[in-house]
Amino acid sequence: MAKKSPTKFSFFFSSSPLYSLLTITITLSLIPSQIHSSTHEDDIHSLQEIKNAIDPNSVSSSSYINSWDFTVDPCHSTGPQFLGILCDLPLDNSSSRVTAIDLDGIGYEGFLTPAIGNLTELTILNLNSNKFRGPIPETIGKLRKLTRLTLSDNFFTGGIPQEISQLKKLQYLDLSANRLSGTIPSDMTGHITPLKDLIHLRWLDISDNRLSGVIRWDTLSLKGVVHFNVSFNRFTSIDIVNNAGQGQRLRLLEAQGNNLKGHLPVNLVSFTNLTVINLSNNQYHGTIPKEYGTKLRTLSWRRLYLDHNFLTGNLPLEFTHTSTYVKGSVANNCLKCPTNVVLCHGGQRPSTECMRQHEI
């Protein structure tokens, strides 16, 4: 972390004792009192625990973690020490607090210690592109000021902790490319997700994990979410009711590469700001709803990917006359798809595949 170095002073002594006394007095008066403050003891301990939980064999000499030298104060050190750390610097003599951890993605191996929960002033936690393993600690829920949580591209296992729902200020949540399993957190009834309390959330990415079950309507309808990515998991269905004004900010829905079954969800058209939809590489069957055609005709939907499913029947008329502004594909289905239609490029499945799927 780049920190502003404290003002450095030099003492110049003349042959006059009075001049020397004046110089010393003026210089000392310029030294700010806040240099006597130090990093909060709990924060120092938590940083030590984070470092101790990382395999030293994965810490290179040029890495951020290697710069964490606890012989100096984390928030008040100068030079290339405690890289990846940001602190608030109080104007009085109170302790400084760590407000951000943004590690370099060089493949650190280890665990995320439960002591992370003691960094209660943290607003940003970014550990992406490393090799952290084991569960995401439940103490993550104590970071009530967190606005950005990025744990993507690691080896975290277990479920998504319910305690994440306590992060009321969270705006960006990326848990993609891990080995998380189980379902999206829900209450005791199994139908309402506590994530609904994350009213400031704008970005939700839990793609490329091993999550399963149902993508519930209240998760999709989080009122502030713009980007929603659940791709490459093991979900079996999307529960979409008529949106009725909820989730109106949602613009992108990525759900390809799951095991989504049944008919395409008609009520998807009730998300009025939705422009990008990817439901490819699933197990959908039946016809394409005519309402989808209306969305393409009005250019409400600019990207629509339904390829690699088992859809049947004729295309809605609007699919055959799409604007050049519309991109997407319905290839590799069981549709009657004219070869001159751009969205049909790539062909359809062999009839044997379609018949075999129909018999299942």
Q: What is the pLDDT of residues 80-104, one digit of tens each?
A: 999 999 999 888 878 999 999 999 9
Give bridge partners of residue 173 from the DSSP assignment. 149, 204
Domain with 176, as residue range(s), is: 34-284
318 in the same domain as 219: no
13 lies in a domain? Answer: no
Which of 257, 284, 311 lies at the terminal end of a domain, its last residue?
284
Phi, psi of 69 (to 5 degrees): -105, 105
| Predicted model pTM | 0.86
- The answer on pLDDT for 160 being more than 50 is yes
Which of 239, 268, 284 lies at the terminal end of a domain, its last residue?
284
Question: Which of 51, 39, 68, 159 minimizes the C-alpha distance to 108?
Answer: 51
How many CA atoms does the CB half-sphere of 120 hold within 13 Å?
Answer: 5
185 lies in a domain? Answer: yes
Q: Residues near 305 by Cβ (< 8 Å), separated by ≥ 6?
A: 256, 277, 278, 279, 280, 328, 329
For the chain, the average pLDDT equals: 86
Q: Choose the weakest-confidence range: 180-184, 199-203, 282-286, 321-325.
A: 321-325
**pLDDT at position 241:** 76
225 lies in a domain? Answer: yes
230 lies in a domain? Answer: yes
The tally of domains found in the chain comes to 2
On whether the CB atoms of residues 217 and 194 are closer than 8 A, the answer is: no
**pLDDT at position 331:** 97
**pLDDT at position 320:** 86
Distance CA 174, CA 121 (A): 20
18 lies in a domain? Answer: no
21 lies in a domain? Answer: no
291 in the same domain as 278: no
Distance CA 90, CA 10 (A): 26
Of 255 and 27, the one with more pLDDT: 255
Distance CA 232, CA 359 (A): 25
Per residue in 249-258, pLDDT (tens digit) is 899 999 999 9
Of 200 and 94, the one with more pLDDT: 200
Which of 266, 284, 302 lies at the terminal end of a domain, its last residue?
284
Per-residue tokens: 206: 């839990």
335 in the same domain as 188: no
**pLDDT at position 187:** 57
Q: How confident is the model at residue 244 (pLDDT cuts 50, 70, 90)?
A: low
226 in the same domain as 259: yes
